[in-house]
Structure 1
Amino acid sequence: MASKVIQAFYTDDDVLMDAVKKVRKEHHHIEEVFTPFPVHGLDKAMGLPHTRLAITAFMYGCLGLTVAITMMNFIMIEDWPQNIGGKPSFSFIENMPSFVPVMFELTVFFSAHLMVITFYMRSRIWPFKEAENPDVRTTDDHFLMEVSATSENVDELIGMLAETGATEIKVKDKQGDNH
């Protein structure tokens, strides 16, 4: 039982959305959908789980806040206390109002930068990585849906995808996991 991938091309995002819904309704596995721009609701139509990137952003923000508090307490209170404008330098709590901007900035800095790094690692995007786009037209004006198929149901899937409004359909042998 050889695995195949059927690539169906579409020229309209609404037609693509209807096709994705029909393919999912028929319980076929959609490998990937390539679009030239974000299509609202496509992730829900494909049945993709919600991202947990917001949770990591919160954790990274907490890490940034902890680093900011620890750093300012060590630098301004313990290591080299200075009398700046008559403010006491023997307690972090008494100096905290002047530390708030630094705490905010480091919270945002850690959250943003570590979230981007996490996104790249999770998406397996790193420098010098080969593009996985199967057709360059998907960066211009075409939409591409890749559907898994076995040798037995290829003809059935081709017929169904043609009914959904696909302008072009290709059948390719499935290569190893691209991810």
Structure 2
Amino acid sequence: MASKVIHAIYTDDDLLLQAVKQVRDARYNIAEIYTPFPVHGLDKAMGLESTRLAIASFIYGLIGFAVAIIMMNYMMIEDWPQDIGGKPSFSFIQNSPAFVPIIFELTVFFAAHLMVITFYMRSKLWPFKTAENPDVRTTDDHFLMEIDVSNHNVEELSKFLYNTGALEIKLIEN
């Protein structure tokens, strides 16, 4: 069965935000929204649940912290202890102030790099992936709202969308 969607084009982000609220209040199903830049409050207006990327970032930071401590302990205390500037080399605790910058840098390194990898995997942005943008104008200055119309009257929905401030409406059959 072919699915039908309506693409409603808007020219202003505030107008789009108001339209999203009106469309959700009218109980229409918004499939996707394409914008040229992030619109503050759009995720809440669409009713999307909050992301767990911050939790993942904290866990990645903890992994970096643990790797840094284990690495510094092994390299500077167990494997090749050296007397540098008269500092004792037989205890990690006694040398820990000297290790703080390295621990900090590895914590940030692990959190940042693993977050980028997680974001790309979660967003399904693979290398050489073709763009899924339905209208090229959404990369420049227009906003597109994609609404599922499988159980709705197309004419009624189109009229409703024009009343919300849509500049252009297209019916797309997949």
Q: Which residue of 2 aligns with 1:75?
A: 75
Q: Which residue of 2 aligns with 1:177?
A: none
Q: Do structure 1's residue 97 and structure 2's residue 97 form an aligned pair?
A: yes
Letter paired with 1:118: T
Q: Which residue of 1 aligns with 2:43?
A: 43
Contact 1:64 1:111 in 2 (8 A): yes
Partner SS state of residue 149, structure 2: strand
Give the TM-score of the pair, scaled to structure 2.
0.96
Q: Which residue of 2 aligns with 1:106?
A: 106
Q: Which residue of 1 aligns with 2:119?
A: 119
Deviations 1:127-161 (A, max 9, x none): 10010110110111111000011164322211211
Q: CA-atom RMSD, angstroms?
A: 1.2
1:14: how far off?
Answer: 1.6
Q: Which residue of 2 aligns with 1:160?
A: 160
1:54: how far off?
Answer: 0.5
Letter paired with 1:129: K
Letter paired with 2:165: G
Q: Which residue of 1 aligns with 2:131?
A: 131
Q: Which residue of 1 aligns with 2:142?
A: 142
Give the TM-score of the pair, scaled to structure 1.
0.93
Aligned residue pairs, count? 174
Unaligned runs of 5+ in 2: none
Q: Which residue of 2 aligns with 1:170?
A: 170
Unaligned runs of 5+ in 1: 175-179
Q: Which residue of 2 aligns with 1:23?
A: 23
Q: Which residue of 2 aligns with 1:54?
A: 54
Letter paired with 2:168: E
Deviations 1:62-115 (A, max 9, x none): 000000000000000111110111111111000000000000000000000100
Classify 1:147/1:138 alpha carbon distance in 2 versus 1 (closer, same or farther; 3 Å).
same
Q: Tell me how far apart the structure 1 counterparts of residues 79 and 46 of structure 2 sit (CA, whole Å).
A: 55
